[in-house]
Amino acid sequence: MRIHLLPSQLINQIAAGEVVERPCAVVKELLENSFDAGATQITVDIEQGGSRLIKIRDDGCGIVKEDLPLALSRHATSKISSLADLDCVTSMGFRGEALPSISSVARLTLISRIADTECAWHIRGDGSEQAFDLQPDPHPQGTTVEVRDLFYNTPARRKFLKTEKTEFTHIESLLQKLALSRFHIGFTLTHNQKEILKLKPAISEIEQEYRVAEICGVEFINNAVKIDVAASDLQLTGWVSLPTLSRSQPDKQFFYVNGRLIRDKLISHAIKQAYQDVLFSGRHSLFVLYLTLDPNLVDVNAHPTKQEIRFREGRLVHDFLFSALHRSLAQIRPASGNNSVTLNERVAPPFPAESTMPTATTPAAAYCPTEQSSLPFTVAETLQAYSSLHTKDELVVPPATPSVIPPLGFAIAHLHDIYILSETANGLVLVDAHAAHERVIYERLKQQHQHGEIPSQPLLLPIKITVSSAEADLVEQQSDFFLSLGFELTRSGLETIVLRASPALFAGTDVVGLITDVLTDINVQGMSTRIETQANELLATIACHGAVRARRHLTITEMNALLRDMEQTERSGQCNHGRPTWVELSKQELDKFFLRGQ
C-alpha cells in the first residue's frame, strides 16, 4: 500500500486513545485547563457518569475570540513557544492536544469570554479542525466546555465503560485529588442535577486542614503531622499520618510536584523508607504532600497523561524526602516545656464528627518537636538525674503545679505487671512498658552504632554457645558487625561459638539466650551480605529481646525513669513494630465516663 496522510479527525481519535481513556480523563484535562486560566471557582456537572454530559465552567481569564478555532486544533497552545520551554514547564497543560482529541470522540462545545468584551463566543468541534462557526453568547467572563455523548462515534471504546456509578466514582475521586492541589479554588460537583460536593476556597491554614479532612477523613487530619521542610532549593510541605494510623492499601497517598498530582516509584520508595522503623509490615501510611522545586529540575513530558515525571536529580530528591520525613516522624514525642501535657492532648478534636468549621488547635499544635538530648545508656544513670525526686521506691511528689509536671507525668502503679499508669497535668497515661522500653533501647543502639560507640564489657570467663552450623557461619562472616554492636563473638567449632564480651547495656541479663534468639531470627529471615542496609532490623531485634518483659514488676523509680526516657527519645510513640507505646485519657474524657458536668 502507498504511504498516505491520515485525516485530521482520525489523527485526533488516535491521540484521544492516549489521553481519553474514560470520562474522568476528560475531566482531568479540562480541569487542568481551568487551573492554567487562573480560575477561582469551578463547577463540574456530570450526567450518567460522564457518558452523556461533562460540563465544566470556570471564571478564568477566558480565550480571545480569534483564538477559539486554534483551541480546537492540534498542537496549538499558548503555554510554550520553543523547545527550550519544555525544560521549564510551569503550566498544567502545554501540548495543545486535549480539546481536539476530546472533540474527535464526543460532541464538544466551547464557550469563552475575556474581560472587557461585549459578549462571549461559542464554537463547536468534531475533531476535523474544519468549518468552525463562531456565534455570540451571553456567557460571563471565563470558559465553559460541554462534552456530550462521549465515544458516540467510537462504539468499541464506549462498550468498555463501566457502570454509571463506577465512572462517576472515578470522577469524584479525581476532583478530590485535584482540589487538594489548589486550595484557593472553590469546587462544585453535581451528578444528574444533584449536588455531590461543594468545596469553598481554603485560604487560611485551618481552612486548608478542613478541606483535607473533608477529602481524606477527619481521622487523618486529627492524627497527622504537619510537614514544612526546605533544603537545597527543595521544599516539602503537607501532612503525613502518625505511624499509629495506617491502611491496608495505599489509597490515601497524594503527592504533588509543583502543584501536579503525580505517581513516582522514587517518591514512593523514599516515603516508605521514612516509615520503616515505625510502621507495621504490610501497612501503608497516609499523606498529602507537596514538593516544590525549580521546574528546570523536572521533566513533566514523560507520559501523555503527565502523571509520571522524571527528576533530573533523582538521588537528591529521594534523599531530601527521606530525610525530611524521617526527621519529622522522629521528632514526634511527648511535648516538652512548661505546661506541657501529652502528645495527643486536645481540649476538643479539631474536626468533630459534625460538619462544622473547627476552631480548636491544629494538628501541628499538638506536637512539640525538640532537639534530641544526650541519652543515658543505663537506667541507673537515668535514676541519678532524678534522685532528688525519689527515696527508695517511693516517689516524692513535687508541688502539683503544671510547670513541674513532666509531659508523661509521674507513675502511680504497674497494672498487671504490664502497663504503667501515670498521672499527668491533663489526666492519665497508660504505657506499655515493654513496647516503650524496646523503642528507647532501639534508638540508643542506632545512635551508638552510627557513631561506633556501643560500650562492650569483657567477660571474666568466655562462654561457649552451641548453635547450628548456619548460625556459626553467620557469626564468622559478620564478626566485625557483631563487634560494632558490642558482642565479641568468635567461632571455635562446626557448631560452636564463643562469647568474650557483650554490651554493657545487657549486664545481668541472659546474654546467651539473647544471642541465640537473635541468630535464630536472622537465620530464619535471611541475611544479606550488605548487612549495613539491614542494621536497623538487627538492632530492633536486639532491642526487642533486651527490653523489659511483661509480667516483670517495675518499681515506681524504674517506671518514672522509663517515662523520662520516653520524653527524650525519638519515635517514642511507637515500638519497633509500629504498635503504640502509650495512650492518654484526658480529664475531659474521664468526666464523660461518669457523666460529670452533664
Write b or e for each residue in 241-271: b if 16 or more Cβ atoms lie within 10 A of its Cβ, otherwise e.
bbbbbbeeeeebbbbbbbbbbbebeebeebb
d(CA 454, CA 448): 5
Q: Output the DSSP codes for 19-83.
A: H-SSHHHHHHHHHHHHHHTT-SEEEEEEEGGGTSEEEEEE-S----GGGHHHHTSTT--SS--SG
CA distances from 506 to 326, 374, 542 (A): 28, 20, 10
CA distance linking residue 139 with residue 136, whole number of Å:
9
> What pLDDT sits at residue 535?
55
Question: Taking the C-alpha atoms of 199, 202, 299 and 28 in order, what is their torsion angle to the nearest 10 degrees?
Answer: 10
| C-alpha–C-alpha distance, residues 46 and 53, integer Å | 6
Amino acid code (one letter) for 208: Q
Strand, helix or coil at 457? strand
**Cα 575–chain centre separation:** 19
**Domains located in the chain, CATH noted:** 8-199 (3.30.565.10), 205-330 (3.30.230.10), 372-598 (3.30.1540.20)
Contacts of 432 (CB under 8 A, 6+ apart): 418, 419, 575, 579, 580, 581, 582
How far apart are alpha carbons 567 and 370 in whole angstroms? 10
**Chain position carrying cell 541519678:** 384
d(CA 188, CA 247): 29
CA atoms within 13 A on the CB side of 406: 20
Per-residue pLDDT of the chain (598 residues; tens, 9 = 90+): 888 888 887 887 877 777 788 999 999 999 999 999 999 999 999 999 999 999 999 999 999 999 999 888 877 888 777 777 777 777 787 766 788 889 889 999 999 999 999 999 999 987 677 778 899 999 999 999 999 999 988 888 888 899 999 999 999 999 999 999 999 999 999 999 999 999 999 999 999 999 999 999 999 999 999 999 999 899 999 999 998 888 989 999 999 999 999 988 889 989 988 988 788 778 899 999 999 999 888 888 766 666 778 888 888 999 999 999 998 988 877 754 333 323 333 323 344 433 333 333 333 333 333 232 233 334 334 334 333 333 343 434 444 444 578 999 999 999 998 999 999 988 999 999 988 998 888 888 877 767 766 677 898 899 999 988 888 988 888 788 788 777 899 999 899 999 999 877 566 667 888 788 777 767 665 544 333 444 566 677 777 777 777 678 889 999 999 999 999 888 888 887 778 899 989 899 899 888 887 7
Contacting residues for 409 by C-beta, under 8 A, at least 6 apart: 422, 423, 424, 425, 428, 429, 563
Kindly give, in sequence order, each residue whose CB lies less than 8 Å from that of residue 325, ignoring residues fewer than 6 positions away: 227, 236, 240, 270, 271, 274, 275
Count CA atoms closer than 13 A to 384's CA, side-chain side: 7
- Of the candidates 207, 177, 175, which has an alpha carbon nearest to the alpha carbon of residue 288? 177
What is the rounded CA–CA span in Å between residue 66 and residue 80? 19
Q: Which three cell numbers stand for residue 489?
A: 563473638
Q: What angle do CA 318, 322, 325 make, to 5 degrees?
A: 140
Q: Report how far residue 221's alpha carbon sits from residue 206's, in angstroms, rounded to the nearest whole number.
A: 11
- Pull the grid cell for residue 82: 520553543
8 Å CB contact between 94 and 79: yes
Contact indicator for 271, 227 with CB cutoff of 8 Å: no
Of 555, 562, 549, whose CA–CA distance to 409 is shortest?
562
What is the grid cell recorded at 418?
504490664
Number of helices (H), then strands (E), belonging to the chain: the values are 18, 24
* CA–CA distance, 186 with 88 (Å, rounded to integer): 28
Q: Taking the alpha carbons of 496, 502, 507, 509 in that order, is the dihedral positive or negative?
A: negative
Residues forming beta bridges with residue 186, ordered by sequence position = 41
Task: Report which residue type is found at 317.
Answer: V
* Cα separation values, 556 from 92, 123, 410, Å: 61, 80, 9
C-alpha cell at 261: 498530582
Report the pLDDT value the prediction gives residue 385, as an integer from 0 to 100.
36
* Whether 122 contacts 139, CB under 8 Å: yes
Rounded to whole angstroms, the Cα distance separating 483 from 497 reads 14
Contact call for residues 299 and 312 (beta carbons, < 8 A): yes
pLDDT of residue 51: 95
The pLDDT score that the predictor gives to residue 217 is: 93
**Angle at the Cα of 362 from the Cα atoms of 361 and 363, rounded to 5 degrees:** 120
Q: Which long-range contacts (CB under 8 A, 24 or more apart) does 73-78 make?
A: 73/100, 73/129, 74/8, 74/11, 74/12, 74/15, 74/100, 74/129
Would you give the distance in Å from CA 509 to the centre of its chain? Answer: 39
* Residue listed under C-alpha cell 536472622: 522
